[in-house]
Structure 1
Amino acid sequence: MNEEKFIKLKENFKLRNIEVQYFETLENVKSYILNIIPMECTIGIGHSATLQKVDITSSLLERGNIVYDKELAKNKEECKILKKKALTTDWYITGSNAISVDGRIVNVDHTGNRVAAIIFGPDKVIIVVGKNKIEDTVDEAIKRVKNIACPLNAKRAGFNPPCVTLNKCVDCVSKERVCNSLSIIEGQSDSDRIKLFIVNEECGF
């Protein structure tokens, strides 16, 4: 993204008590995260193709952090337990489906564990976002989430709602839909809680 657009985005998020930082690569982000999170902290991971790409969970576990990541679960029950434990961690790291230059973070979830943790629970939240997730307005961000992120995430997870075939949202009531919880973060009461890390790469869906 161009410098002028980034400055505008950063200023808009600052007004909403959300810190924004810019990184050239995902590896830069990973190194920074490992540097700022103390080894004694507990960490929750919100499922993210972006984070999986740099295998942040393994790096945190190898150095001694306690990490709650549903992708480590051996079965459905264990997955549910890990999701719940992630809600009360010191730090929570996740991706986002879209952000807007006007200062909003937009996500959609299947079970709601990720959007719940972003809103409340963990003491600090890091959201890592590729440049492909940036839209100018919140309306465009919502449109991106429903028509790009949802069909691709549904397909990745092995679900087959109508949007997978049609490549667009038709506001279905399919049992296979993955877009059960739409969340729009418009600000934070705690100016220290949410950190938004933008990467100059195309990451995830």
Structure 2
Amino acid sequence: MEKIKALLLKDKVERTVKNLKNNGFEVICVDTVEEAEKITMDLIPEGSSISMGGSVTLNMTGLLEKFRSEKYKFFERFKQPTWPATVKVMRESLLSDFLVTGTNAITEDGFLMQIDSGGNRVAGMAYGPHNVIVITGINKIVKNITEGYERLYYAGPLNSKRLNHKTPCNFSGKCENCSTDMRMCNFVSVVKNGERPCGKTRVILINDNLGY
């Protein structure tokens, strides 16, 4: 049975990679977080400006500290003293050379699906930064957009608890379709094509279960 499950998973991953490529995404498959981190740094030339989406998967890498090096211009939104200052950096980061981020779901037909509270990741993945690098585990793969939405609204309450947002889903563990100021699911996007006006969307797919 385990062998059959492994074969089915292999088929699912291969089908997803093929469809991502057909949809204009560049896909790099690796086995470990460390490999993904090295490839990311190899892709970003010194002197580049970098923005970063909030992501549990990215938090498992050492990329944040590397981006803070004086070798790069990093749009540092994680250490701002006030929320207005954070928003200012997020707005400026839309003109970065590289956006490095995670994703909430990847459909087998090769689409990326995201859900945001503030909208900066959704906006950056759609337009602005020259290049987008998406780092994700194979556990984010879903059958289709319908399953993708289920996964998005599964991740929302978990992120709310992680970030200590005072939302109903933080306490109930499920989406309550709330109207609070700290609502996690204000913006949803489906990226169906990896071609960008000025660069590429690359997906580094890690053969592991990462993040939520």
String of CA shifts for 1:128-153, please: whole Å, max 9, x gaps: 1122211111110111111x210000
Which sections of structure 2, spanning at least 5 residues, go unmatched? 1-5
Tell me the number of residue pairs that the alignment of Structure 1 and Structure 2 aligns. Answer: 204
Task: Give 1:44 deviation, angstroms.
Answer: 0.8
Which residue does 1:168 correspond to in 2? Answer: 174
Q: d(CA) in 1 for partners of 2:208 and 2:10?
A: 15
In percent, how many aligned pairs have the same letter?
Answer: 27
Q: Which range moved further: 183-192 or 194-203?
A: 183-192
Shift of 1:63: 5.9
* 1:89 pairs with one of 91, 96, 108: 96
State the one-letter code of the partner of 1:158: N
- Is 2:13–2:138's contact at 8 Å kept on the other side of the alignment? no
Separation in 2, partners of 1:31, 1:69: 21
Match of 2:48 in 1: 41
What does residue 159 of structure 2 align with? 153
**Residue of structure 2 in register with 1:112 after alignment:** 119
Match of 2:190 in 1: 184
- Whole-Å Cα distance in 2 between the matches of residues 50 and 33 of structure 1? 14
Structure 1 outlier segments of 4+, above 4 Å: none
Say if 1:99 and 1:135, in contact at 8 Å, map to a contact too: yes
Question: In the alignment, does 2:208 pair up with 1:201?
Answer: yes
Q: 1:135 aligns with which of 129, 132, 142?
A: 142
* Contact 1:95/1:129, CA 8 A, preserved across alignment: yes
Residue 99 of structure 1: which of 106, 110, 124 is its match?
106
Q: Which amino acid aligns with 1:51?
A: L
CA–CA distance in structure 2, aligned partners of residues 176 and 75 of structure 1: 15
Where structure 1 has 5 or more consecutive residues not aligned to the other structure, the ranges are: none
Match of 1:80 in 2: 87
CA contact (8 A) 2:95 2:129 kept: yes
Instruction: Using the TM superposition, give the Cα deviation of residue 162 of structure 1 relative to its aligned residue in structure 2, in angstroms.
Output: 2.6
Q: 2:137 and 2:194 mapped to 1: Cα distance?
A: 22
CA distance in 2, matches of 1:46, 1:65: 16
